[in-house]
Amino acid sequence: MKLRRLVAACAALTLVVGLPAAGATQAAATPRFTKYVALGDSYTSAPFVPVADLLSLGCARSYSNYPKMLAAALGVWRFTDVSCGGADTTNMTQPQSTVLGTAAPQFDALTPDTDLVTLGIGGNDFGVFGDIIGTCPGLRASDPAGAPCKAHFTVDGVDTLRAKITQTQTRIAIVVQGIRARAPQATIVLVGYPKIAPEHGTCPSILPFADGDYTYLYSIEQALNAAVAGAAAAGGATYVDTFTPSTGHDACAPDGQAWIQGKDINLLRALNYHPRYEGEAGMASLTYKTLTGQAPVVTAAEQSAWAAKARALAKQAAASPQALEASTNRVRTSAQR
């Protein structure tokens, strides 16, 4: 296990682009953490973002996910990433079944000397994310200019997805309490979800939602992030807003600017409706800046560097068909965070 953590850390050091190196001069001092544990779902694990961690089995973790970039930027060497695609809050304390075996409860990685924990969770609870991306595209044809998805999930005047998100906030708050009990000295950071849909405009060839349902998808993700932020505040944790700074980097943005993959799986970039390398780098950068007291903004230079690295990693993955096939075999689902 120690060798695996060392390999992961070394790999991360080669992947971080646009993030400050440990020891670099900063406007704010870089905090020193000695043991970092990353928890979360597939927005954390980063399926199909090259290069794949082939030892993560059905959890579909990437060596380019934001925890590994953050660990490298912070200079943390005792680092454990147990994020897993499809995880929800119950998988913090309960095992998770994957297509290639059973993942241990993520809380098993926490110890009393853990001093940094990042958590990205909530989208899978009560099936919210799977429901919206599994249902809405199929309803577009019935009313392309309207909002058939919103109508579908509104029952007797009640938005059923928002009601589920309210319950999700309670669950996340309990998770924060659980982290605090197991790692009482840890700085706990809850990382929000970046924008999938733009605030204005549509791109049906990429996000096949009815025109009115773009606003609905946007509002549901706003509500989910508000739930994550509320749970963080209730538990004395730090919230990292990736939603606001990802403006202009939604799935409809041009290639090189987009953080999120659209409806089609790209084996060299990302699982559909999930962050690309650029999105993972953005989340890492925003988390680093939050921890170091810097403004949570993304610069054009950072975005350009991430896009260049994404292209290089895609070429690297394409040149290794065996690794690509192995990665494909480890991801069998397209609708889980």
The catalytic site residues sit at: 42, 274
Angstrom distance (rounded) from CA 27 to CA 234: 29
Tokens of 337: 């965070």
What one-character DSSP code corresponds to residue 158? E
- Residue 36 host element (H or E): strand 35-40
- For 294-324, give one letter per residue: b (16+ CB within 10 A) or e: eeeebeeebbebbbebbeebbeebeeeeeeb
**Among candidates 189, 298, 187, 308, which has minimal Cα distance to 249?**
298
Site of tokens 């089995």: 57
Measured in residues, the chain has a length of 337
Question: Cβ distance 111 to 149 under 8 Å?
Answer: no
- Residue 11 host element (H or E): helix 2-15
Angstrom distance (rounded) from CA 30 to CA 33: 9
**Among candidates 62, 42, 16, which has minimal Cα distance to 323?**
62
Neighbouring residues of 126: CB distance < 8 A, sequence distance ≥ 6: 164, 167, 168
Q: What is the CA radius of gyration of the chain?
A: 19
Helix (H, G, I), strand (E, B) or coil at 254: coil
Rounded alpha-carbon distances, angstroms, from residue 10 to 7, 35, 208: 5, 16, 39
